[in-house]
Structure 1
Amino acid sequence: MRSSAVRALWSAAFLTLLSLALALPCLAGEHGKAAEPKRGILLVSFGTSVPEAVAAIDSLKSQAEAAFPGVPVRLAYSSKIIRDKIAGEGIKKSSPAQALSDMAAEGFTEVAVQSLHAIPGHEFHDIIATAKAMEGMPKGMSKISVGLPLLSTPHDIDAAAEAILATLPKRAKGEAVVLMGHGTEHPANAAYAALQLALWKRDQSVFVATVESSPSLEDILPALKRQGARTVHLLPLMSVAGDHARNDMAGDEDDSWASILKSKGFTPKAQLTGLGSRPAVAKLWIAHLQDAVKGLDH
């Protein structure tokens, strides 16, 4: 092979290698390019197995979508009992962990998770633990911010007291209101007592009781009698008017609150409207969601 041909061959090879070398940084940059931020919202409700009660959750979801146009809003149920029960009826709802996993698979990088629970009890702390675990996973989400439940801070409790009172039915003398909370053995159960004090500062005829903890209905019966209450309005202190509201509060069974009050000489009047369907209260959850979304910016 002549020397001129060899030089031409080496020259061509050199140019080819030089072109590849110059292209490699570009190729590597494309391959290693960070994903574009994709923000979403996940609302986490305790859940309900009562079809009529779902409207309150749907309403909160619609309000979240209106507050953050263009940001996808997803929903999860934190109660496994509820998820399993409705699954038998052909209705599928994700757990918070599954919902976040699905969102990560869809490319969401930042998610604001908003609790729709009343108090920061076990369910809320489980949500926090799940969010922390998901945020730290490889190829997972870069940021997850969790919004507080309805009754979390002293400011929340005062705001909730004002909002709840604004939604109560007009009453005459001799009429009282009893709000049914769920109740828990978690220390967050103290939020119910704090709410009671906040309500009494504004209206002495409004009471808070719980199904599964303290104060119970039996705890407040003496106060109802001392006030000379004859009619007692019963309302759920929960995001939805679900099974507890329809059965434990307003049911026909002998152990329902309505039946117990009637047996004690009171006239019970139940309202099956959850807090999520009361705009003045619902907007407090949306305010917490706004704080959670702001948390994604830090």
Structure 2
Amino acid sequence: MKNRKALLVISFGTSHPDTRKKTIEACEKLIKNNIKNYDFYSAWTSTMIIKKLSKNGEIIEYPSQTLQKLVKIGYKDILIQSLHIINGQEYEKLLEIIKIFRDKFDSIKIGRPLLSKLEDYDEVVDFIEEVTKYDNIENKLDTATLWMGHGTEHTAHSSYAGLEYRLRKREIKSYIGTVEGHPSIEDVIYFMKKDGINKVNLRPFLLVAGDHAKNDMAGQDENSWLNRLKAEGFKVKVHMEGIGEFEKIQNIFLNHTLEALGGIDEQ
């Protein structure tokens, strides 16, 4: 029987169909179209979102369900690409699932999340610089871009500080903050005021522009970043684009997939 190969792209997921098409599905399509001779599958790691969509009749598989299905079908070689931003809790959860299936396939290769190796940070900072220049095309000294990341209590929280360090080193007028973790919105407000920033382009540093972007970042609640920034005297322009919409980010994920495809079996 012909050796069957499967490509499995795994993301956290989203319950917002508008951003899903522009981000998750756009990344999946690019990877699928560039990986030949592999059958395409996808799965999400958020059980909460999977359950929410199931109530409306849409079936999204959890990674273990998809991998079990691939075993039954008879696939031998599996190529997995994560669409997670950092090597945090969601990615570790994925790795634990993969361990269970390690001996079920001849090989399992894994493409790393967005921010893993040092060169990933440099590529993402290049992306941030491009967007920052677009946001501040007039190059005004009092204007900056603020990116809202998710944040985590996992040790991978240092990823955000690592980005922030590179932005400062390269004197890029962008700031990184997180909803859950460090740097916090209070940290960012302090530094923006210290740097004389008055006008802010507010963007999600999230694959999708879903709940966190629409509520925590730009919601009507007084504790949203939009309203907290306004209360501190900043003029704010909201950009509702998940970073998964940008070709630069999509191509980074694709390159991680291609690198995994040419590499050794992930141990």
Task: After superposition, give the CA deviation of every residue in 1:261-287 in whole Å (9 maximum; x if it has no partner).
Answer: 011111111111111111112111111
What secondary structure sits across from 1:165 in the alignment?
helix
- Which residue does 1:62 correspond to in 2? 29
Aligned-partner SS, 1:37: coil
d(CA) in 2 for partners of 1:212, 1:88: 28
Mapped contact 1:118–1:239 kept (Cα < 8 A):
yes
Query: Matched residues in 2 for 1:135 and 1:297: separation?
Result: 10
Tell me if structure 1 keeps the 8 A contact 2:148–2:178.
Answer: yes
- Separation of aligned partners in 1, 2:171 and 2:75: 46
Query: Does 2:209 align with 1:245?
Result: no
Preserved CA contact (<8 Å) 1:44 1:77 = yes
Q: Partner letter of residue 82 of structure 1?
A: I
TM-score when scaled to structure 2?
A: 0.93
Of residues 127, 138, 147 in structure 1, which corresponds to 2:94?
A: 127
Aligned residues of 1:45 and 1:76 also touching (Cα < 8 A): yes
In structure 2, the residue matched to 1:87 is: 54
Letter in 1 for 2:5: R
Q: What letter is aligned with 1:147? A: G
**In 2, Cα distance between equivalents of 1:90 and 1:203:** 49
Identity percentage of aligned residues: 33
The residue that corresponds to 2:170 in the other structure is 202
How far did 1:164 drift? 2.5
- Structure 2 unaligned residues grouped into runs of 5+: none
Q: Which residue type is aligned with residue 41 of structure 2?
A: R
1:177 aligns with 2:134: no
Contact 1:64 1:73 in 2 (8 A): no
Contact 2:128 2:174 in 1 (8 A): no
Alpha-carbon distance in 2 for matches of 1:219, 1:108: 49
Aligned to 1:219: 187
**Partner of residue 64 from structure 2, selected from 84, 97, 106:** 97
Q: CA deviation at 1:36?
A: 3.0
Secondary structure of residue in 2 paired with 1:238: coil
C-alpha deviation, 1:131, in angstroms: 1.3
Distance 1:204 1:165, change over 3 A: closer
Give the letter aligned to residue 206 of structure 2: M
Cα deviation for residue 147 of structure 1 reads 1.3
* Residue 40 (structure 1) aligned with residue 6 (structure 2): yes
Partner of 1:160: 124
Q: Which has the higher contact order (CA 8 A, sep 6+)?
A: 2
Which amino acid counterpart does residue 79 of structure 1 have in structure 2? S
Distance 2:246 2:178 in 1: 20
TM-score using structure 1 length: 0.84
Equivalent residue in structure 1 for 2:114, among 136, 150, 165: 150
Which of structures 1 and 2 has the bigger CA Rg? 1
Shift of residue 295, structure 1, vs aligned partner:
3.1
Distance 1:99 1:268 in 2: 43
Gap runs ≥5 in structure 1 = 1-34
Number of aligned residue pairs: give it: 261
**Contact kept? 2:108, 2:265, Cα under 8 Å:** no
1:41 is paired with a residue of what secondary structure?
strand
